[in-house]
Amino acid sequence: MRIGFVSTRFAGTDGVSLESLKWAEVLEEMGHEIFWFSGRSDRDPTVSMCVPEAFFGHPENEWINARIWGAAQRPPEVTDRIHEVARYLEAMLRRFVDGFRIDVLVPENVLTIPVHLPLGVALTEFLAETGMPAVAHHHDFYWERVRFSLNAVSDFLDMSFPPRLQNVEHTVINQAAQEQLALRKGLSSTLVPNVFNFEEEHREADSYSADVREEIGLAPDDYFFLQPTRIVPRKGIENSIKLISRLKDPRCKLVISHDAGDEGFGYQHMLEQLAVDEGVDLRIIADRVSERRQRDAQGRKMYTLWDIYPHADFVTYPSVYEGFGNALLEAFYFRKPVLINCYSIYVQDIKPKGFDLVEMDGYVTRETVESVARLLRDEHLREQMVETNYCLGRQHYGFDALQRALSAAFSQVPYMGQPFMVS
């Protein structure tokens, strides 16, 4: 089949862009052809259609967003603008489907979270009018985000996020989302968790990345604690600082891989001050981490996150909330011991699989500190832990598991009167 992925953006390292690539890779291995429709794209242009108005950051969409969120009523001109943009985008979707002879569409979060309301409306109307089969990949619903609680578009949200159409099969990344989708919309769905390519050969440090520790200022005998996340409050990074403070070992250094992004720097400044108060050596290396290997303006090496992981001794992941937890899968793949906060999705979806982690429940206890210290000292115990997690990760969250889940999801959607078949 010829499968068309649709989103506001397929570019960079956001969750939607990364997970859609994994779906595409597995679907291609199953014998299908992949095409892309988005407002911003880094995909192969020969199989892509990029429409700037489909990007959530386009001025037209930002004008609409400024008038529909945080308000209970919208003026008629806003409604008119939503419909105008939606009609244009629906025409572009038709051009995409016709031009690439698409058989099935995969809306990637565009019918889930309304960062681009007109695109969701356009896609809903296109699917309703054509009856074209679609497998919607839902990452995070609007009801999971406080910013969408007060809005002037409840009618559009009810219609399109997500739509109730017989030709649309829904997939979600965790059980809580599955339950809420059924409760709020009366829609069944297939659970397709996020995955990692555990089947790929394990990546070790090579000649390019061999000097990572030296470049970020760590001594050979330092303990490298990696926080592989952005600096946002829901990541609970203050607990990583508390942990290292209570280990009372000056060789323990906390390294954060990313900066705050577009969510402001207030939380980062608080963490920096907390680290000073607690006597913790905190290093933020976002200026040395990139999507690809390159040199910066000063001629310094830029490393990918995959270059960083092999050098870490321990991964801290004390998130308060996660839609799933991709960094957790990455740590399993690179065979690193992990400190985890028991956020709800981990407790409901991941923990029952039998993973072996150092757990905390909202705060760092003496038992937490002792468990981490023991793992740093006991190489055999550490190896047992990471090997267990790698094997379970491959079993439940590898590409083989994704292929089985996609086969189940696509088999629910009729294609030319025939069910979806694995090639």
Show the domains of the chain with their CATH numbers. 2-195+400-410 (3.40.50.2000), 212-397 (3.40.50.2000)
pLDDT tens digits for 288-325? 999 889 999 999 999 999 999 999 999 999 999 998 98
pLDDT above 60 (res 421): no
pLDDT above 70 (res 399): yes
Pairing of strands 190-191, 104-107: unpaired
pLDDT tens digits for 36-83? 999 999 999 999 999 999 999 999 999 999 999 999 999 999 999 999
Q: Are 171 and 189 in contact (CB under 8 A)?
A: yes
d(CA 287, CA 267): 18
d(CA 188, CA 182): 6
d(CA 294, CA 303): 7
Q: Is 412 helix (H, G, I), strand (E, B) or coil?
A: coil
> Measuring CA to CA, which residue among 377, 238, 214, 220 is closest to residue 301?
214
CA atoms within 13 A on the CB side of 231: 24
* Band of residue 184 on the pLDDT scale cut at 50, 70, 90: very high
Stretch 98-127: mean pLDDT, rounded? 97
Mean per-residue pLDDT over the chain, rounded? 94
* Band of residue 420 on the pLDDT scale cut at 50, 70, 90: very low
50 CB contacts (<8 Å, ≥6 apart)? 38, 39, 40, 41
Q: Is the dihedral of CA 234, 326, 24, 422 positive or negative?
A: negative
Backbone angles phi, psi at 59, to 5 degrees: -55, -35
Backbone angles phi, psi at 318, to 5 degrees: -90, 45
d(CA 180, CA 335): 34
* Band of residue 416 on the pLDDT scale cut at 50, 70, 90: very low
Backbone angles phi, psi at 350, to 5 degrees: -100, -50
> Measuring CA to CA, which residue among 76, 150, 100, 93 is closest to residue 127?
93
Q: Is 87 helix (H, G, I), strand (E, B) or coil?
A: helix
